Amino acid sequence: MHGSTDERTRTGMSPEALKRAFVDSMFFNQARYWRVATTHDLFMAAAYTVRDRMLERWIRTAEAYRDVRARTVCYLSAEFLLGPQLGNNLINLGIVDSARQGARDLGIDLEAIFAEEPEPGLGNGGLGRLAACYLDSLATLSVPAIGYGIRYEHGIFDQSIDDGWQVEDCDLWLSHGNPWEIPRYHLRYPVQFGGHTEPYTDEHGRFRVRWVPRIDLYGIAYDTPILGFGVDNTNLLRLWHATAGRSFDLQAFHQGDYYGAVHAKVAAENITKVLYPNDEPEVGKELRLKQQYFFVSCSLQDMIRLHLQDAETLEDFHEKFSAQLNDTHPAIAVAELMRLCVDEHGMDWEPAWDITRQTFAYTNHTLLPEALETWPVDLFGRLLPRHLEIIYEINRRFLDELRIRFPFDPERIERMSLIAEGPVRRVRMANLATVGSFAVNGVAAMHSELVKSTVLRDFHDLWPERFHNVTNGVTPRRFIQLSNPDLCGLVTEVAGTGWARDADNLRRLEPHARDAAFQERWRAMKRAAKERLGARIQQTTGVLVDPLSMFDIQVKRFHEYKRQHLNLLHIVTLYERIKQNPGLDMTPRTFVFGGKAAPGYFMAKLIIKAIHSVAEVINRDPQVNGLLRVVFVPNFNVKNAEVIYPAADLSEQISTAGKEASGTGNMKFSMNGALTIGTLDGANVEIRDAVGPENFFLFGLTVEEVERTLAEGYRPWEIYREHTELRTAIDLLHSGLFSHGDTDLFRPLTDSLIHHDPYLLLADYQAYVETQAQAEARFRNPMDWTRMSILNTARMGHFSSDRAIREYCEKIWRVQPVPVSLTTTR
């Protein structure tokens, strides 16, 4: 404590207090003096300085929640893609300007410190980023909440490109430590696997089952504070790290068995070693199931511990907690809570089942059959024998109820069973999650209707009152305020400071949409964002791009249904048009791609290769250089996304109708003033309704048309034969033009399109090309385009994650905010 000021060094918010805290942190935390401090030392000192201010709020929040025994949301997710936290935490604390002033006074480059922060890749894409947005909004809305997940030592792989091919590199986000987390070594819960079960009679003469496991390990909690924006509420993200019960076998070591001495430690820590191991081989499937059970068991044991701090029994556990299952990854929680209640806490089946069904709610994120998790019964029973017995008992009772309700419908009963019969019997995790939850929701209006009419139709027929829609949302704090400060300044000038907490205030931009002076400033903002992205592109790829060209951007996970190759066919078509007509009057375009393909997904990786191959030819062809550029930004993550979203003129949301649950990239682009070219898929439908059909470039088959086309016998080869430009684009891909004469390289891709085309690229190609021409024509009128860009931002307030969380609180969780104030809780 420095006696020269009334403001405390570790919690003060002024530039002077921040400077003192930073200097102290450099000395006492990093043990460095200025001349030898690295940029990483500067980052760590800055992070600890900010964390101190968060911890004060975190402790006060915990006290306040416990004082009122607050009902708490527990968000169970296998992924939390937080992104870099320093800038976001400065914004939420409201001390960005103070931090910048302090940095200037100390001669420190704050932007270099931001760039130094490693990104925790604890998610694969949209699912994990959604979870992170929801944690931000829960804290901002003062809703008591805990996020539960896995502390992966290695997150999603770092992507590099070698000769156009994706290369997966190990993510080392923890290699220099994580200043935001606090280990809780005393929060240590046992987790078991394997073994067998034994029936017995307890002291009250009741039938019981004892699980005798073969493997014992422990989960240790690592806590990260999650601060709300403009409030003192600071919630908790608790991630679990696996460790052995006995990490070192001294006897084995003395006998010369050095590997055996640490075998238990290695085997245990493998569970939290890497995000989503390759689950093609059996050992990969086993590890993934272990991961899911591990974090769910630790989380439920922790919730029970918290509950029993102020209660004697678990009878009202469901009144204390509402647990959201973020997709099927945590669905084993249904069986685990039953095991804990019945086996560990001596409850009878019926009250335990009532508690379980009133605790969980399930969010469905996919309509793709292959993404609805199922587990082979043999594998499940080998790893979790007691849970398989519990699932069998849940299923027996459930099917008996169904037989009474639907006595002459055995097909329905088979579809709704928790066990899929067949050559390989499988546990259906979506069915388990639905049966064990009091609410089920989809993540966009259209998706929720499709959930009710397709994958969970039978359950909706049985329990229509349980089904809801909560359209996804994204936090405007990170995706406007942090990533696009120029836009933030314009919006604040017009809409006031309240828009970041109430995004509906973005509507105040609308009256300025036709104002020539405001439009000029808007274009300058967009130009600056494109220049920033252009600099990043040149730095990472060596390609120079023109910020005056239309930036046409598609960044997302690579999958055939997302149809990055439809975008690529359009690029090849434009290239061929220019080659055939060198004087073609065309708007210059920069096509930007980004995203990762699953390591075992050959076709997705081939599409990445094809993009690079087409880019190589186009970017070195002087005949088209002034009109076309194609670039791939490697290693798409939150940090790169914050540079990409603000720079887009046109956002590609072109998945096959009915395949995308919602999407959130579409929201981030539109919030930043990009116009969308897209299908009626996922949240595109609601975005188009919100911004206005006239400000959205719609193309493609509808869900009903897709279903009818497939049902009538889709023949893509006929479309290929009949459409000259389409045929030319496909033929050029496998002609060797883009592959140094290799006519076989892209044949798997072109053959799939011509003979199968499961995602109907060829059916949508002509409409897509024509709609692209409409977008180009509108872009040629800067005033018209800028007006539409402003209206996109102005009308996107509905897609804030704050709105989504309010809907969850009202429709599903039945939870009330508990505002926290440092001044009143001291």
Nearest C-alpha neighbor of 380 from the set 368, 393, 389:
389
* 543, 592 contact by CB (below 8 A): no
State the catalytic residue, choosing from 151, 557, 589, 659.
557
CB-CB neighbours of 117 under 10 Å: 21
- If residue 428 lies in a helix (H) or strand (E), which one and from where to where? strand 426-428
What residue spans of 734-760 are helical by DSSP H? Answer: 747-755
Nearest C-alpha neighbor of 553 from the set 579, 520, 586, 592:
592
Nearest C-alpha neighbor of 108 from the set 198, 43, 13:
43
CA distances (Å), 718 to each of 113, 702, 710, 715, 757, in order? 57, 21, 14, 6, 12
CA distance 432 to 430: 5
CA distance 442 to 808: 11
148, burial (CB in 10 Å: exposed 0-12, middle 13-18, buried 19+): buried
State the catalytic residue, choosing from 129, 154, 365, 387.
365
CA distance 558 to 440: 28
* Terminal CA-CA length for the chain: 19
CA distance 87 to 91: 6
Residues in the chain: 826
CA distance 27 to 653: 49
Nearest C-alpha neighbor of 732 from the set 559, 570, 558:
570
Nearest C-alpha neighbor of 793 from the set 589, 601, 525, 605:
525
* 434, 624 contact by CB (below 8 A): no
State the catalytic residue, choosing from 9, 243, 356, 664.
664
> Is 556 a known active-site residue?
yes
Those residues whose C-beta lies under 8 Å from the C-beta of residue 256, and which sit 6 or more positions away, are none
The vertex-515 CA angle with 513 and 521, nearest 5°, equals 85
> Is 811 a known active-site residue?
no
CA distance 246 to 150: 21
Phi, psi at 180, each rounded to 5°: -85, -20
CA distance 624 to 629: 8
Bridge partner residues of 630 (DSSP): 591
CA distance 635 to 619: 21
CA distance 354 to 436: 9
> Is 320 a known active-site residue?
no
Bridge partner residues of 122 (DSSP): none
State the catalytic residue, choosing from 477, 556, 565, 570.
556
* 149, 80 contact by CB (below 8 A): yes
Each residue of 780-789: b (16+ CB within 10 Å) or e?
Answer: eeeeebbbbb
State the catalytic residue, choosing from 565, 589, 668, 787.
668
Phi, psi at 197, each rounded to 5°: -120, 155
* 291, 283 contact by CB (below 8 A): no
What is the amino acid identity at position 344? E
Phi, psi at 602, each rounded to 5°: -60, -45
CA distance 396 to 407: 15
Phi, psi at 740, each rounded to 5°: 55, 40
The vertex-285 CA angle with 280 and 288, nearest 5°, equals 125
> Is 557 a known active-site residue?
yes
State the catalytic residue, choosing from 320, 532, 562, 629.
562
Nearest C-alpha neighbor of 592 from the set 566, 611, 616:
611
What is the amino acid identity at position 181? E
Residues assigned a catalytic role: 365, 556-557, 562, 664, 668
